[in-house]
Amino acid sequence: MARPPLKSVEDKTRIVMAVPREELSIAEAARREGVSQTSIANWRDQFLEGGQATIAAGGRAGPSSREEHLEAEIETLTVSAR
């Protein structure tokens, strides 16, 4: 049996989010998308672990775009002051 094409992150997220909203069961989502129930369960678990990590980090997974901009500006000013 040929392996189905790889799913994008967006597709995986859409599939995983359809299950808790009770739009689809894992079995239905697997049939519809041509992937295994195990794959969907793994994606769901990874998705939930990522959410838990974000909550544990205070609601953010990384610096905001504003923080990134300010850090770049500090770096530029530091380099030009040397």
User: How many distinct structural domains can be found in the chain?
Assistant: 1
Mean pLDDT over 72-80 rounds to 85
Answer whether residue 4 is part of any domain.
no
In a domain, 45, yes or no: yes
The residue that leads in pLDDT, 10 or 23, is 10
Q: What is the pLDDT of residues 30-67, one digit of tens each?
A: 999 999 999 999 988 888 888 877 777 776 666 778 88
Domain membership of residue 46 (yes or no) is yes
pLDDT at 76: 87
Residue 26, domain member (yes or no): yes
CA–CA distance, 45 with 48 (Å, rounded to integer): 5
In a domain, 37, yes or no: yes
Q: Is residue 2 situated within a structural domain?
A: no
At residue 1 the predicted structure's pLDDT band, cuts being 50, 70 and 90, is low
* In a domain? residue 1: no
List the domain range (segments joined by +) for residue 32: 9-81
